[in-house]
Amino acid sequence: MHTDQIRSVIAKHARLSVDAATLTDDSDLYAAGLTSLTTVNLMLALEDEFDIEFSDKMLGRKTFESIRSLSEAIEELVSA
């Protein structure tokens, strides 16, 4: 649902080895170059962008592995 905004934040903060515009919603962000350090930067940028806070249970690789998984997590937080 928020995929365009997420893609924009990824492009600015994730420092991937590929252009974020070329990623599908299900592309593996870690295979595209996301690291543990850039995951933290991405998380903070997404929290600012959507005015949310990721819960402890969401702070795993699975949440940040794709645009789709991020969109689902953000949707859950925005709806709460």
**Tokens 């949707």 sit on residue:** 75
CATH (residue range 3-79): 1.10.1200.10
Annotated domain spans of the chain? 3-79
What is the overall mean pLDDT for the chain?
96
Over residues 51-74, the mean pLDDT reads 97
Which tens digit of pLDDT belongs to each residue from 2-37? 999 999 999 999 999 999 999 999 999 999 999 999
32 CB-near residues (< 8 Å, 6+ apart): 16, 17, 18, 23
**Residue 80 pLDDT:** 84
pLDDT of residue 33: 97
Distance CA 37, CA 14 (A): 9
